[in-house]
Structure 1
Amino acid sequence: MGSTTDDRGLELLHPLLQHHIVNSLGWPALRPLQAEAIEPVLSGADCLLIAPTAGGKTEAACFPLLSRMGQENWRGISVLYLCPLKALLNNLEPRISMYASWFGRGVSTRHGDTTARARREQVAERPSILLTTPESIEAMLVSTTVDPTRMFGDLRAVVIDEVHSFAGDDRGWHMLALLERLSAIAGRPLQRIGLSATVGNPEQLLMWLQGSARGRPRAVVAPPTESAAAPDLALDFVGSTGNAASVISRIHLGEKRLVFADSRRSVESLATRLRDLEVETFVSHSSLSLDERRRAEAAFAEARDCVIVSTSTLELGIDVGDLDRVIQLGAPATVASILQRLGRTGRRPSSTRNMTFLATTDDELLRATALLLLLEEGFVEPVAAPPSPRHIAAQQLLALALQKGRIHLSEETAWLTRLGLASEQDMSRIGEWLVSTGHLDIDQGLAFVGPTAEQHFGRRSFLELLAVFSAPPEVTVLHGTREIGSIDPTFLVTKVAGPRVIALGGRSWLVTHIDWRRRRAIVEPSEQRGTSRWSGDARAYTFELSDAMRRVLLGATPKSPYLSNRALDRLAALRQEQAHTVSATSRVVVSEGGRVRWWTYAGARANAVLVAALKEVSALVGESGYDNLSISIAPGATSADLSSALNVSRERTLDVLLPEVSPDALGRLKFKELLPPDLAAATLAERAADRNSAEKLLAGSR
């Protein structure tokens, strides 16, 4: 429970629940979030409940909902509990099942790993609470073996755990559309309760979560955090992954350490080096098999002097036992990630939240320092859903045709427009495109799934249509009959000198055979250190992070974190080396070795807009384009040339400018074939643009 509790609100709960909280759980009172959430949740308001990891958010939502369930005699599946990860659902089921059992209610979990028998049992004997994912809801809505009206007709409320994780990408839009469809089936508005750690824009996030029902009562519940103690933060510059492994092997011995790395490749590289140093090491990331991850997380939870190395998959509330330390290899891209990861520690009385950054490159050192500066200044990124989800609107039209058999296009496009998935004009074009391409057919004014959709999506019961994210094709790695995980196929065709040795699960494996037809690689353990690689996009920094990196180079240093002498020395050297790229009063144009760059420190999305603006009025943009911190300028151009072009750009509106979209990027947009080509390109371009920051920088670049 923690040291801080609150005796308010307990008497509002169902008497049976009060009894079990005090006697079965042994809680003398509730935590502040749990106490403050009772009244708004009981009233039926849409809520956003905010607290750090392990802050009692699950109980804050479930206790008052169970009270309503008992008092109002809810029947059937009355509550959905949505999570972004299957592992989080599995982790939560025992706890929520215990709470529901006090009322004689059932809880069940449904996701991609749920057996066919368990699914049949859920249909025959509906649980009161179903723990699931948006993709599984979509699958149930379009299934020929599930009657959506019987399954969801009694639905009253939906809890969305880690709501910021959904809202930040297309899964959020997909989820909102599903909630609208479920509400229509239930014949009532559904109470929506989002759970999240600290976010920068809670009111806006809750309004987004309400979907088309924004007139309903709503409440953000975010009491002050239970511990006022400042976190223990440290930053060291170690120069390489090998050095990071050496440092980790020598610090905090006898303690459980969770190490975050922000790519699967970095996770594997660090884990293999830690094992070389005889550190008990476990690994968790999305390309490991489910069994491998479960074994690693369970073993880590039971061990004591050990390390688990993970991508952001363990940033969310999955329980891996009582942690002592969080270590970050390199740096994440957001302050929100730091707060999530900090929340994994400091759960025991007298313990402190802590996080140690080990920077291996100059960019990581600069980014980590900038993030710590923003954290100290109280900045947290707002959570914003990606703009222009037109492809999700198109996907929903096909899914609705699957669910209902035949649909009125005008009726369905109307509510999708109200939800904000596309404009009325765009929705009309999307419907026409789907019919013209054969994805939908029309008969007597009603639309149904056409031959093109059957051909593209019909395999495996339209499975590819049910999820709005797509995983790149990977090769499954097998040691005997044991599945280790999967790896990028391009990594297996790269020329190597000698045997091909890969790293997976923190171990090195010799590839002995590749079955390309079945996409399988057969491996044996190897003493030689392996490497690994997966495909992935470069990260776009926010304007705030990029500008904070500029301010760090100008001398700003966070006060509270401990910076090692190595970090301070390297930071001083960086400031000297990069002094020509920064100015306290303006952005800088630098010419070096025939290359000219405009150092904007504005972030990739703002730079994309600035490049589009420059291209509209001049030929100043160089061949190497732009990155997070700078824009390439054509050779021979001067600061005066750039100033002149920017003066022209200021007289024009940036609202209509769209960055260029590469064919490779367009190829990664799922459901692009469901959109007219120009709308598909516009969707990606609008998502690559930060016009507000570009305008801010233009206004100051005189």
Structure 2
Amino acid sequence: MTKTQLPSIIENWFTTRGWSPRQHQMDVLESYQSGASQLLIAPTGAGKTLAGFLPSLVELVDGRFDGLHTLYISPLKALAVDVQRNLSTPIAEMGLPITVEARTGDTSAAKRARQRAKPPHIMLTTPEQLALLISHPHADLMFGSLKRVVLDELHALVTSKRGELLSLGLSRLAKLSPDLRITALSATVARPDLLRDWIAQPTQGRRTDLLHMKGGAAPELRILETEERLPWAGHSAAYARGELYEIIKRHKTTLLFVNTRSQAEMLFQGMWDINEEMLPIALHHGSLSVEQRRKVEAAMAEGKLKAVVCTSTLDLGIDWGDVDLVVQVGAPKGSSRMLQRIGRANHRLDDPSKALLVPSNRFEVLECEAAVEAVSEGQQDSEDPHPGGYDVLAQHVLGMACAEPFLADDLYAEILTAWPYRELTRVLFDRILDFVATGGYALRAYERYARLRQAEDGRWRISHPQIAQQYRLNIGTIIEEPMVRVRLIRARGLKKGKSTGPIGAGGRVLGEMEEYFFGTLLPGDTFIFSGEVLAFEGMKDNEAFVSRSFDKDPKVPSYNGGRFPLTTYLASRVRRIMDSPEEWHKLPAQVGEWLTLQKEVSVLPKRDSLLVETFPRGAQNYLVCYPFEGRLAHQTLGMLLTRRLERMRARPLGFVASEYSLAIWGLGDLSALIRTGRLSLDELFDEDMLGDDLESWLDESALMKRTFRNCAIIAGLIERRHPGKEKTGRQITMSADLIYDVLYQHEPDHILIQATRHDAARGLLDIERLGQMLTRVRSHIVHKPLERVSPLAVPILLDIGKEPIFGEGRESAMAEAANELLEEALGVIKD
């Protein structure tokens, strides 16, 4: 035991429950009391949250502290609410004079105003709320007393633009409170030293201790063993619904994680279709209304639910109910993400967390096996933090002007203490400041973009008080597709899901959905949302009105958010499994047979090479390759390869990309072109495609305009919200497109054009990963000309030109198409 002692009231609280503080919890307390910051890495269920708050409880135990002492920052609103509940209980049981409050986007305006004037001792919030708080004048009155910041699930914060905004907020807090110390918590960190530097940067000169907690029960992870036929493609996992239902019945509470909101809606609807015993099964994802999500969370905490179908909204740190099993439906995409989700089951250090992986298709079986191996070895593949974006910095600069006038030298020095911006040059900072102040060279003639002015004393200040109001309405870095509220009404004269009378006012809000989806619907069309089958009745302002329906064939909305890329680490493991026939005994028999057929008909991809198959089918010719680098990288590769094939007169017609492979088809005989040397695969896959080919494609692509829209919103050039109203997605897109055209023509090196190119390369095109793949396979491309489709190519060919079939019809149609393709691959001749 360390020399650090707990106050008797806290010590007695542990004793009366038969507990004692764990070593890593006392280590955090001792480190804090010695004047240091900390990064604590500990397994899920190890009591990290208590470790983070223990120094605060010790310092606040006597009731003499006045003001805000500790700021807790979470990546999820739900996690902040959960931590408030779990922290308030021991405080109440000990009778400590400590106030704890959450502050999220769901907190009422009156309460938020009161919190600025009289904050609690401990406030639990999100990066966006921190940015909002420090943008108010006299923020020093609120944060001047601050002693500690607790960053929960740090790995989930630092890899996105939210993390960049948070880093800038921490630098401002360190200025307002020079004695500030930071405690960061995480269970899944691939490079601890890098994250320690990240939290040490704002409090320069202060020691930051790296604390590891080893031990805990190893998780129990397995893949569903099914007697059903594994699909060749698709992501619904409909084949496993019956088995999942039986598994749910055998457990207390099961969390069923999926990777997208559309998968959540499909799975939830599918489970209710077979829920003959009326088990309490709920749905939880980010598009549902706050009321609906809180209702589900409360039911979980009270142990009233048998299962919850959820997305990433519940995969970080939340400890609700008696969850004894986690099911990952679909491939997990990363071992660190899988470890996080596993930790939601048996959220106790000494009890093993149990998880079941349910692959949606045959390729996902390989990914699930790779994840099981990685988890069992304790391997992490969390992302590293990135250099900071210019659009995020522009937002922060405007926010600091809203707080108080500033000198450029002072703000620049402060920004350098944020890890993502530690290498920011003064020239670049001045360009960003000029953009915030005037809009840049091409826009400075327009008064609406004149947001800052420099006074005689050299300080920059906002040009009008309304600028601050607009800034606070539009703060944040999470840019989703334009959303509309979905309001449930009682349709008048309802007939076959279509209202024949006027739509009445009012009705319960079910949540929000992407605006574009409703542009594809006609009144009377049905779709699944919020776990119900709904009929679209019409639009009014920024709301979609719907009614309940009993249609048996509703559409499933496709959401643009929520997709995860396959990590490089898992991709390399998948390649290794395919290249190791001696390990195939671990796989389901039907997957092993599939790989064996591939070996007989063609060849298998090697771990360090690229297999390229070419074959005719019908009137077209196909090129299929297997990089296993994720959909984003494959889509970019497909775009660039088709451009090159056009120049080589190979007459490509199109391409389709999956997480694992890429197929290109056209009219030219690709096998013959390669055999005769008129088409060189080494030249086709040369890294120089990421130069001029990429630039020329970007110049023509609508992708740049979509990316620019997001950067312009974050940077404050385009505002989504105005007092009393909100712009529609169409209005935002039109404004962004007009500004992009002006800048691209008159100022192509504008700071936002640069930010757009950077974002497109990193987030939407995965250029870095594609470049690494092209380097890896240089001179290691294996070409296999075939007379017909190969077994391995069956899944990707199923994705070509597939019809938008929904429900069970889609499953049977894909199964039928897969059988036909496999018969082709095996040379079966039908009469």
Q: TM-score, normalised by structure 1?
A: 0.86
Say if 2:685 and 2:774, in contact at 8 Å, map to a contact too. no
CA distance, structure 1, for counterparts of residue 584 and residue 345 of structure 2: 22
Structure 1 partner of 2:267: 270
After TM superposition, the structure 1 = structure 2 runs for residues 110-125 of structure 1, keeping only pairs within 5 Å, are 110-125=103-118
Contact 1:40–1:219 (Cα < 8 Å) also in 2: yes
Task: Find the counterpart in structure 2 of residue 601 from structure 1.
Answer: 628
2:545 to 493, 511, 521: 521
What's the offset of the Cα at 1:574?
A: 4.5
Q: Given the alignment, which residue of 124, 127, 150 partners 1:131?
A: 124
The alignment status of 1:243 with 2:239, answered yes or no, reads: yes
- Asked whether 1:645 is paired with 2:645, we answer no
What code does the residue aligned with 2:513 have? I
Residues of 2 paired with 1:510 and 1:626: CA distance? Answer: 33
Where does residue 462 of structure 2 map in the other structure? 449
Deviation of the 1:657 alpha carbon? 8.8
Asked if structure 2 preserves the Cα contact closer than 8 Å seen for 1:42 and 1:68, the reply is no
TM-aligned CA distance change 1:509 to 1:407, over 3 Å? same
The one-letter code sitting in structure 1 at the alignment partner of 2:775 is: L
Taking structure 1 as reference, are residues 568 and 206 closer, same or farther at Cα in structure 2, changes over 3 Å only? farther
Matching of residue 20 in structure 1 with residue 29 in structure 2: no
2:414 aligned with 1:415 = yes
Pairing 1:483–2:493 present = no
Does structure 1 retain, via aligned residues, the 8 Å contact 2:319–2:347?
no
- Distance in 1 (alpha carbons) for counterparts of 2:204 and 2:603: 50
1:676 aligned residue: 751
1:283 is paired with a residue whose SS is: strand
Q: Tell me, in whole angstroms, the C-alpha distance in 2 between the residues paired with 1:272 and 1:310.
A: 13
Q: Give deviations 1:420-475, integer Å, cap 9, x for gaps.
A: 33443322222223333224333333323357x968x854x6311x2121233222
The aligned residue for residue 493 of structure 1 is 519
CA distances 1:28-79 after superposition (whole Å, capped 9, x unpaired)? 3123432333321322322112223322111111112322345896431111
Shift of 1:219: 1.8
Contact 2:487–2:543 at 8 Å: present in 1 too? no
Q: 1:158 to 1:182 in 2, by over 3 A?
A: same
Instruction: Report the CA distance shift for 1:616/1:431 in structure 2 as closer, same or farther (over 3 A).
Output: farther
CA distance in structure 2 between the partners assigned to 1:268 and 1:10 by the alignment: 53
Relative distance call for 1:516 and 1:525 in structure 2 (3 A) is: same
- SS at 2:78 equivalent: helix
1:268/1:505 contact within 8 Å kept: yes
For 1:233, the equivalent position in structure 2 comes to 222
Change over 3 Å in CA distance of 1:411–1:510 after alignment to 2: same
State how far apart, in whole Å, the 1-side matches of 2:716 and 2:656 are.
Answer: 28
Distance 1:236 1:282, change over 3 A: same
Point out the more displaced range, 61-70 or 106-115. Answer: 61-70
SS at match of 2:477: coil
Note the alpha carbon deviations across 1:514-538, whole angstroms, 9 max, x for none: 2331323232353646443143165
Deviations along 1:616-659, whole A, 9 cap, x unmatched?
99967976497654567896463975565389759x999x9989
CA RMSD of aligned residues (A): 3.7
User: Which of the numbers 470, 473, 494 marks the counterpart of 2:479?
Assistant: 470
Query: 1:163, CA displacement in angstroms?
Result: 1.2
Q: CA deviation at 1:492?
A: 2.4
- 2-side partners of 1:611 and 1:243: how far apart? 31
Matched residue, 1:141: 134
Alpha-carbon distance between aligned partners in 1 of 2:280 and 2:50, rounded to the nearest angstrom: 34
Matched, 1:576 2:600: no
Partners of 2:714 and 2:213 in 1: CA distance: 41
When residues 695 and 325 of structure 1 are mapped into structure 2, their CA distance, relative to the original with a 3 A threshold, is: closer
Which of 157, 168, 185 is residue 177 of structure 1 equivalent to? 168
How far, CA to CA, are the matches of 2:109 and 2:521 in structure 1? Answer: 43
- Secondary structure (helix, strand or coil) at the match of 1:140 reads helix
The alignment-based identity, stated in percent, is: 24
Instruction: Tell me if 1:48 matches 2:39.
Output: yes
Are 2:682 and 2:778, in contact at CA under 8 Å, matched by a contact in 1?
Answer: no
Larger radius of gyration: 2
Q: 1:630 to 1:252 in 2, by over 3 A?
A: closer
Structure 1 pair 302–53 and aligned structure 2 pair: CA distance change class (3 A): same
Q: Deviations over 1:457-501 (max 9, x none)?
A: 854x6311x2121233222222343222222233223256x9322
Partner of 1:694: 771
Q: Does the 8 Å contact 1:49/1:222 carry over to 2? A: yes
- Are 1:666 and 2:673 an aligned pair? no
Greater Cα shift, 613-622 or 247-256: 613-622
Spell out, residue by residue over 1:92-126, the C-alpha distance to the aligned partner (whole angstroms, 9 max, x if none): 21332345564422222212222233234434433
Q: Which residue of 2 aligns with 1:3?
A: none
1:374 CA drift (Å): 3.0
1:547 to 552, 566, 572: 572
3-state DSSP of counterpart to 1:28? coil
* 1:84 equivalent among 64, 75, 91: 75
- In the alignment, is the contact (CA less than 8 A) between 1:658 and 1:682 conserved in 2? no
Correspondence 1:159 to 2:202: no
Q: Structure 1 residues 80, 680: CA separation in 2 closer, same or farther (over 3 Å shift)?
A: same
The residue type equivalent to 1:250 in the other structure is E
Change in Cα spacing, 1:183 to 1:615, as seen in structure 2 (3 Å) is: farther
Tell me how far 1:697 sits from its aligned partner: 5.2
1:596 maps to amino acid: L
Name the SS of the counterpart of 1:253 in structure 2: helix
How far apart in 2 are the matches of 1:305 and 1:410?
Answer: 56
CA distance in structure 2 between the partners assigned to 1:234 and 1:390 by the alignment: 43
Aligned-residue offset at 1:247: 1.6
| Partner Cα separation in structure 1 for residue 333 and residue 221 of structure 2 | 20
More divergent stretch after superposition (64-73 vs 135-144): 64-73
**1:653 to 1:341, Cα distance in 2 relative to 1, 3 A:** closer
More displaced, 603-612 or 354-363? 603-612
Asked if 1 retains the 8 angstrom alpha-carbon contact of 2:174 and 2:203, the reply is no
1:572-627 CA distances to partner (integer Å, 9 max, x unpaired)? 31563485461355222322332334533344676689899999999679764976
8 Å contact from structure 1 (residues 85, 133) kept in 2: yes
CA distance in structure 1 between the partners assigned to 2:612 and 2:96 by the alignment: 68
Which of 413, 425, 432 is the matching residue for 1:430?
A: 432
Instruction: Map residues 37-436 of structure 1 onto 2, 5 A cutoff.
Output: 37-70=28-61, 74-100=65-91, 102-143=95-136, 147-186=138-177, 188-227=178-217, 229-236=218-225, 238-239=230-231, 240-255=236-251, 256-278=253-275, 279-303=279-303, 306-347=306-347, 352-404=352-404, 406-419=405-418, 420-421=420-421, 422-436=424-438
CA distance in 1, matches of 2:397, 2:483: 29
**Alpha-carbon distance in 1 for matches of 2:305, 2:434:** 61
**Secondary structure at the residue paired with 1:382?**
coil
**Structure 1 unaligned residues grouped into runs of 5+:** 1-7
The amino acid across from 1:590 in the alignment is E
Task: Give 1:587's aligned residue.
Answer: 610
SS in 2 for 1:77: coil
Greater CA drift, 10-19 or 333-342: 10-19
Change in CA separation of 1:38 and 1:558 when aligned onto 2, cut-off 3 Å:
farther
Distance 2:682 2:238 in 1: 48
CA contact (8 A) 2:219 2:342 kept: no
Cα contact 1:82–1:159 (8 A) shared by 2: yes
TM-score scaled to structure 2, two decimals? 0.73
Letter in 1 for 2:674: T
Is the 8 Å Cα contact of residues 134 and 169 (structure 2) preserved in structure 1?
A: no
2:282/2:308 contact within 8 Å kept? yes
